[in-house]
Chains A and B, each alone.
Chain A
Amino acid sequence: MLLGRVQPFLKQLLSPVILVLIWEASVRLGFVDSEFLPSPGQILQAMREMGAAELLPELAATLFRIAIGFFIAAVVGVLLGSWMAISSRANGFFYPILASTYAIPKSSFIPLFILWFGLGFWPIVLVVFIACALPVVVYTFHGISEVPKLRVWSALSFGVSRRDLFWSVLLPAAMPEILVGMRIALGFAFTVAIAGEMIVSTTGLGKLIFSYGEGGVYPSMFAVICVLLIVAYVADLLFMAFIDYYLRWLDRGHSSGGGA
C-alpha cells in the first residue's frame, strides 16, 4: 500500500537525482571547470557559509514585494474581470485598453517605474502588480462569463439578490478559472520581481544574485540562485495544494447550497 503510493513519487525524483549526481561527478572529475559551474557540494557549502542571517532578510524583502503586488493584483483583477463579464459597457471600455497592454512584455515597465518612483520598493511592487493583474482579469472574465445561464436563472427565480448572485453563485462557480489565472500570475510575479531587483533594487534575492555575480563570487551566486529557484518551486507547489484544497471544499459547498 505505502510502497504503491511512494513509487510514483520516487519515479519523479529519479531523473533529477541522477542529473545532480552527474553534475557533481563531472565537476569533481574535472570535466567542468568549477569556476564556471560549481558542484552541488560547493553550492551547498556556500549556502551554509552565508547562512540564514544573510539569506533570510533578502528572501523576506523579495517575498514581501511579491506578496503585496500579487495581493493587490488578485483583488483588483477579480473585481475588474467580474465587472467586465457582467457589464458589457465596462467590457467595451476596458477591453481595448487591456488588449493593447497585453502584448507588451511587463518587465519593460521597470525603467518607466524607476523614472516615476526612483529606486526601491515601489517600482518592483508596481511591476509585480501589472504583471499579475492581467492574467487574473482575463481568467476571471472567462470564468464568470462561462457560468451556465441556467444556474443564474434558477438562482434569480429563487429570489436571490444581485449581490448574493455575485458572491454566492457567480464567483464560486468561476473560482476554478480564477485560481488558474492566479497560478500563472504567481509565476509572472517571481519573474518580474527578480528582474526588477536585478535592475534597480538595493535589497532582495535578485540584487544579491547580481552583486555576487559582479563581484565574481560564483559559488555564492549559484547558491542564491538555487535558494530562489527552490523558493519559487515551493511557492508554486503550495499554491497548487491550496487550489486542490479550495476546490474540494467548493464541490462539497455546491451540494449543500454554496457558501460566500
Chain B
Amino acid sequence: MRLSERLRRAFAASYSLILVCLLWEAVAAAGLIREVFLPRLSVVLEQLYAMIADGSLAEPIAVSVARGAVGLALSVVVGSILGFLSARSRTVHLIVSPLLSIGQPLPKVALIPIFILWLGVYSSSKIALVFITCVFPIAISVQAAASAVPKVLLWSSRSLGASEFDVIRTVLLPASLSGLMSGLRVALPLALLATFTAEMIGGGGGVGAALMYSQRLFETPTVYAYLLVMLAMGIVLDQLFLRLRHRLLSWDEQK
C-alpha cells in the first residue's frame, strides 16, 4: 500500500519527463528530424556510457570543477571580507558600495578577452572570470546580512559583558554566514555558467571546450552527452549546496 502510493507519487512527479524522453526517442527513430540535429536518446546515452567507460569524460569534468572551485573559493574569501567590512565601516562602505552596485548587473563575459590577454587561455583566465562573476552577489548579500543585525542584539550582548571580539564572533559572523549562504545560492550556478562559457569561448580544456569541439566536428551525440553531463553537474552542485546550508544554518529558522 505504501509502496504503491510512493510509486504513484514518483510517477506523478516525473511522467512529463518520461513523456519528453519517449517523444524524443520516437521522433528521432521515425526519422522526422535528421540525425545530425537530433540523434535518438538511446544513442546519446550509449555515447555517454562510452565516454564514461573509456575515461574520456573524467578529465574535462575534473578540469572544469577545479577551475570553478578555485574561482568560487577566491570570491567567497574576498566577497565575505569586502561585504563584512563594508557593513561595519563607513569609510569602506563609501568606497566599496558604489562599486558593488555598478558591477553587479554588468555582463562579465565581456571581460573574457581581457582575461585571456592578461592570463592566457588556460586555467587562470577562467578562474578570473568565475571570481569576478561570483564576488558581487556574495559581497552584496554578506553586506546586507551583516548590516541587518538588529541593534538590540548588539546592545544586549555588549551590556551582558561581551567584548568587541565576542560580539563579532558570536553575533556578527553567524549573521554574515547566513548572508554568505544566500549569496552562494546565487553564485553557484553563476560559477558553473562562467566556467563553461569561458571554456567555450577561450578553449583550453574543460567540459565547455570539449562541448564546442564536438560541435565543430558535428559529433551530435557527443554534444547532447555533454549537455546531459552539464545538467547532472548543475543538479549535483545544487543538492550538495542544500545539504551544506542545512548543516551550517540549522540554527537559523529563516534560512
In residues 1-32 of chain A, which contact B (Cβ within 8 Å)?
11-16, 18-19
B234 pairs with A104, CB closer than 8 A? yes
CB within 8 A of A100: which of B17, B114, B200, B223? Answer: B17
CB within 8 A of A107: which of B200, B224, B231, B234? Answer: B200
Of the listed stretches B71-79, B93-101, B154-162, name the one at the interface; the rest are far from the partner chain. B93-101
- A165: Cβ under 8 A from any B Cβ: no
B196 CB contacts on chain A under 8 angstroms: 105, 107-108
CA A228 to CA B223, docked complex, whole Å: 30
- A77: Cβ under 8 A from any B Cβ: no
CA A114 to CA B201, docked complex, whole Å: 14
- B249: Cβ under 8 A from any A Cβ: no
B230 CB contacts on chain A under 8 angstroms: 104-105, 108
Check A110/B200 contact, CB under 8 A, given A96-B17, A100-B17, A222-B114.
yes
Check A16/B234 contact, CB under 8 A, given A105-B196, A232-B107.
no
A198 pairs with B98, CB closer than 8 A? no
Which of B13, B118, B197, B234 gathers most chain A CB within 10 Å? Answer: B197
CA A194 to CA B16, docked complex, whole Å: 33
B37 pairs with A116, CB closer than 8 A? yes
- A75: Cβ under 8 A from any B Cβ: no
- B124: Cβ under 8 A from any A Cβ: no
CB within 8 A of B108: which of A102, A105, A191, A199? Answer: A191
- B163: Cβ under 8 A from any A Cβ: no
Interface residue tally on B, bucketed by range: 35 or more
CA A199 to CA B234, docked complex, whole Å: 22
- A52: Cβ under 8 A from any B Cβ: no
B192 CB contacts on chain A under 8 angstroms: 105
CB within 8 A of B13: which of A11, A96, A106, A221? Answer: A96
CB of A241, distance to nearest CB on chain B (Å): 13
- B208: Cβ under 8 A from any A Cβ: yes
Contact count A vs B, C-beta below 8 Å:
140
> B-facing mask of A155-193, CB < 8 A → 1, else 0?
000000000000000000000000000000001001100
B218 pairs with A198, CB closer than 8 A? no
CB of B249, distance to nearest CB on chain A (Å): 22
B105 pairs with A14, CB closer than 8 A? no
Interface residue tally on A, bucketed by range: 35 or more
CA A180 to CA B193, docked complex, whole Å: 21
Check A225/B193 contact, CB under 8 A, given A103-B231, A213-B117.
no
In residues 126-154 of chain B, which contact A (Cβ within 8 Å)?
none
- A209: Cβ under 8 A from any B Cβ: yes
- A53: Cβ under 8 A from any B Cβ: no
In chain B, what residue has the closest Cβ to A113? B215
A225 CB contacts on chain B under 8 angstroms: 110-111, 113-114
CB of A69, distance to nearest CB on chain B (Å): 14
B20 pairs with A228, CB closer than 8 A? no
A12 pairs with B200, CB closer than 8 A? no
New A-B pairs, 11, CB < 8 Å, besides A15-B95, A191-B197: A15-B98, A92-B12, A103-B237, A104-B234, A107-B196, A112-B223, A195-B201, A198-B113, A209-B113, A210-B201, A221-B117
A→B interface (CB under 8 Å):
11-16, 18-19, 36, 92-94, 96-97, 100-112, 114-116, 187, 190-191, 194-195, 198-199, 206, 209-210, 212-213, 218, 221-222, 225, 228-229, 232-233, 236
Closest 4 pairs (CB-CB, A-B): A103-B234, A213-B113, A111-B215, A105-B193
